[in-house]
Amino acid sequence: MTTMTIAGATLDVDAEGYLQKPEQWNEAVAEELAAKEGITLTDRHWLVIRFMRQRYLETGDAPTIRSLGKESGVDIKALYQLFPKGPAKLAAKLGGIPKPHGCI
């Protein structure tokens, strides 16, 4: 396992930079990861990130892009505007959860 220093903390990450221990996450980590992706987090970003985290922590799986669009309060088109490199993948990374199954 690899480690990375983010927001002043040493975190366990995989080869793609996804946190391996969701309990190491906090909002400062999300802000710094977002900045590295060229994203300034807005209230809509936080809505999606928090939805992703909550679903993962409740079920052990991240939601699919379809359920993310239906249940998060942000439609799929807007998700791609907020997270242009792939909404499920990037929201999971910023939310401190593992990369969703099925994401390349």
Q: How far apart are CA 37 and CA 31, in angstroms?
A: 10
- The alpha carbon of 30 is separated from its chain's Cα centroid by a whole number of angstroms, namely 8
**Residue 103 is a catalytic residue:** yes
CA terminus-to-terminus distance, the chain? 20
Of 7, 41, 78, 103, which residue is the catalytic one?
Answer: 103
Q: Active-site positions? A: 103
